[in-house]
Amino acid sequence: MIDTNKVLIGLGQHISGRVPERCGICPYSNGDAGYGITCRDALLDDLYEMLEAQEPHVLTLEQACGRDYCFYEYRATGYVEPASVVISGMMLGGAVPVAEVYRLGREGAACVAVSEYGRTWRCWDRMPEDGEKEAEPWES
């Protein structure tokens, strides 16, 4: 079992640049002067295992818009692809707020009705497996 707190402290030390030439303050340090290499590798191994253990889940629209990227699923096709979602000032038919979905590797954006989120399209925090998609019901 991965110690989540240890991983978060280690990340905080390494990312913030607080780890000096010696790794004595990193929770992954074994006390040697490894210049961050030894403890960083162990930290990344634990971080990878921790992330792999997390189940993907459907984001709220606000969560999807607040991320650099997510995984956009279109109900009609079941296809999931990396994307960035932005709620624009545009309106469909002059009355329906629109979200612009910028899909990786595609020109332009797909414009989808905000009101249809969860019914015809949704976003995941990670790429879901087919079984995970099927286990997560769509809104009616």
Cβ neighbours of residue 29 closer than 8 Å, sequence gap 6 or more: 22, 23, 38, 39
Residue closest to 61 by CA, chosen among 115, 105, 109: 115
Q: Which two tokens stand for residue 65?
A: 């818009």
Q: Is the dihedral of CA 85, 87, 90, 93 positive or negative?
A: positive
Distances (CA, A) of 100 to 15, 29, 65, 112: 32, 45, 10, 6
Q: Which of 2-16, 21-35, 108-122, 126-140 has the lowest mean pLDDT?
A: 21-35
Q: Where are the domains of the chain?
A: 4-53, 61-135
CA 110 to centroid of chain Cα atoms: 20
Q: For residue range 73-128, what is the model confidence (pLDDT) as tens digits?
A: 999 999 999 999 998 877 777 778 899 999 988 888 999 999 999 999 999 998 99
- 0.85 surpassed by pTM: no
Rounded to 5 degrees, φ, ψ at 52 are: -65, -30
Rg (CA), the chain: 20
Supply angle C-alpha 64, 68, 73, rounded to 5: 45
